[in-house]
Amino acid sequence: MTTWKHGARGAWRRRAILAGLLGSSLATASSIHAQAPRWELNLSGARIQYDSLSALNAPSGSGLLEWRGSKLLGRIGAGVTGFQNAGWTAHGAGELSRWFSPTGSTGPLHLEISGAASGSKHSSGFDTYFLRGNARAHASGSSFGGWLGLGLAHTRTSVDPASVRGVIPSLGAWARSSATRFTVTYEAPEVLERRYHEVSTSLAYSGDRLDLTGFAGWRAAPSESALGDESWLGASAAFWLRPEAALVVSGGRYAPDVIQGLPGGDYVSVGFRITGSRARPVPEPAARSPLLFTEASATRGSIGFELPEARTVEVAGDWNDWTPEPLSRDSDGRWVLPPGLAPGVYRFNLRVDGERWIVPEGVPSSDDGFGGEVGLLVITGDS
Amino acid sequence: MNVRRGFGLALTVLATASAPALAAKLSAQSMELEGRVDARILTRVEPVFAAAARDSLPMDVLRAKVLEGATKNRPPELIARVVTDLAEDLRATRTALRERLPDAAISGRELAAASLARGQGVPMESLADLWSSRPAGGSLQIPVTVLGELVRRGVPPDEASAVMRHIIDTGVPLERAAQIPGRLDGVTRPDVAPPEALERALRDLDIPAPPAGRGPGG
């Protein structure tokens, strides 16, 4: 029997927390930039050494469902974790994020409102829940960006009915090359009138058959806190055996969570993941191949572009003597080109909200000679 | 009448006959532009158009560039410079192709695509290699565009042109061939070299790879 050193409350709390960590740890790194809808199943076995406990083995199974639209992200996950001689815990989590673009969908500024909820229940009857809401302002380019945000968190357990609240200002920045992404985040959670300062970093790489994620962080605790300064470090590697199956190995150290009171610990985990659609820790750049359509699709008028925040969209190109033509939306909300384009190669631009000329996302662009860019549209004859 | 005099007379007749045609062509271009662009632009681009018409460059390509600049509200002097550069690119591309393939048929749209491909890094040898496979009555506009997109993505020009030439020779539908750059984007990663990515893209699209060792003209 595992020895728990800090009484029943601490023991059950740790088990519930551990279950949540095990269930979500494998999914976390891979689920950030998924193309939706997608699903993922994870089976893993872990060896955990918490700071104040004996080492224990913990097999875990979890699942994830995710839907990502251009302005909305929804994700739910659930799982079960067994503990060596210490029962089992079921856990679940959900997250919803909505994006707004005050400067239009092609602008660099975006606002994000998100909410997350999670809970767990141990076989003994002990349960926990955790809620968090975030508001963030993002400024994003194609290879770097940053954000400023404010979060509110609320947590409670069945053992202690008094809830704990936290206020979490944060700011962060990221930079990416083709397959590598670096992120640094600063958070200053205030919990029980004590302010902590936390800096965390992550570095992710996504290759043909390998995804790597490393993380490290450091936190300064106020002198009156029972928690001392902390540092943590870890890495995860997913070896994709097939496009839909990966072997996942991870290890490192978790830091104690100041809001939920989660303990820190060292861990090693080996697992297996299957998914309907691989989600890379570094999103792939948008394909900028020729915008290719067949003559039939051009005749039907089914060539469309997603610009959800645009109020008006006009198109001008080689086929219409560069005379701006207003586009209309189809039933899916896409801005659709007028039908009847003949096979050929055309250069074109879109004008959004009567302001500036753009090349839509995913369309190859070349220098237009006038200080801007022009897109390429290819329509082939039906064979 | 000796042969030399006869040739000179023929040239004179041709010049006399073609001058009104050229003037009419230019006039038509100007009239089409007049309603769309202001006089300052017309004044600047007319000499470029006159020279282009004399050289039988594709006028619709130049005209579209003027209209593009006007629609984007660019300054007349910039539009004139861009159109002048485009005309020179078209002229140089055609001259270079003709040097390698004196009898090659080159449509205006093909020439525009070839000029763009050169800007994307496709050498003239690769373009000439592709032109040597031009099917009678067929257009190289899309194959040349795809060739430029492949080279822009890092595929060595000789390999890219060998693939495109093989596609033309074996009659692969252009609809499928035009998907190669997009499929290439899907498999290109830092640890996958462009030639290997191209091989995978072709396999994904069920397009036969060219015989090993086939390079330009091979």
Q: Which of A321, A369, A380 sits opposite B178 (nearest CB)?
A: A380
Cα–Cα distances (Å) from A301 to A257, A330, A342, B102, B174, in that order, read 54, 10, 12, 41, 20
Whole-number pLDDT of residue A43: 96
At B200, the pLDDT band (50, 70, 90 cuts) reads confident
Check pLDDT > 80 for residue A300: no
- Where helices occur in B55-187 by DSSP H, the ranges are 59-71, 76-100, 108-119, 124-131, 141-152, 157-170, 174-177, 180-187
Best to test chain A binding among B37, B48, B68, B170 (most A CBs inside 10 Å): B68
Whole-number pLDDT of residue B87: 96
Percentage of chain A beyond pLDDT 70 is 82
Which residues 56-75 of chain B have a CB within 8 Å of chain A? 64-65, 67-72, 74
Report, in angstroms and rounded to the nearest whole number, the Rg of chain B calculated over CA atoms.
21
> A85-111 pLDDT, tens per residue?
878 999 999 999 988 776 555 557 788
> A41-84 pLDDT, tens per residue?
999 999 988 777 778 899 999 999 988 766 788 999 999 999 88
Report, in angstroms and rounded to the nearest whole number, the Rg of chain A calculated over CA atoms.
25
Q: Which of A178, A294, A364 sits opposite B175 (nearest CB)?
A: A294
Check pLDDT > 70 for residue B23: no
More confident residue, A265 or A159: A265
DSSP line for A176-241: E-SSEEEEEEEE--EETTEE-EEEEEEEEEE-SSEEEEEEEEEEEPPTTSSS--EEEEEEEEEEEE
Q: B52 is written with which tokens?
A: 């282009």
More confident residue, A306 or B70: B70
CB spacing of B189 vs A179 below 8 angstroms: yes
Q: A193 is written with which tokens?
A: 């009138």
Interface residue B196 vs chain A (CB under 8 A): no
Contact A258, A227 (CB under 8 A): yes
ipTM value for the complex: 0.79
Contact A279, A32 (CB under 8 A): yes
Q: Which of B143, B166, B151 lies closest to B215, judged by CA?
A: B166
pLDDT, average across residues B185-200: 79
Which residues 109-138 of chain B have a CB within 8 Å of chain A? 109, 113, 116, 119-120
Longest dimension (CA), chain B: 73
CB spacing of B175 vs A380 below 8 angstroms: yes
Instruction: Enter the pTM of the model.
Output: 0.55
Check pLDDT > 80 for residue B68: yes
Cα B156 to Cα B214: distance, rounded to the nearest angstrom = 13
Contact B62, B52 (CB under 8 A): yes
Q: Worst-scoring range by mean pLDDT, A94-108, A280-294, B9-23, B141-155? A: B9-23
Which residues 4-23 of chain B have a CB within 8 Å of chain A? none
Q: Which residue of A has its CA nearest to B181?
A: A289
For chains A and B, count residue pairs whose Cβ atoms are closer than 8 Å.
Answer: 100
Check pLDDT > 60 for residue B7: no
At B6, the pLDDT band (50, 70, 90 cuts) reads very low
Burial class (CB in 10 A: 0-12, 13-18, 19+), B4: exposed
Whole-number pLDDT of residue B105: 86
pLDDT, average across residues B138-165: 91
Check pLDDT > 60 for residue B1: no
Q: Please identify which residue in the block is written with the tokens 């962080």.
A: A217
Q: Which of A343, A331, A324 lies closest to A304, judged by CA?
A: A331
* Averaged confidence pLDDT in chain B: 82
CB spacing of A374 vs B68 below 8 angstroms: yes
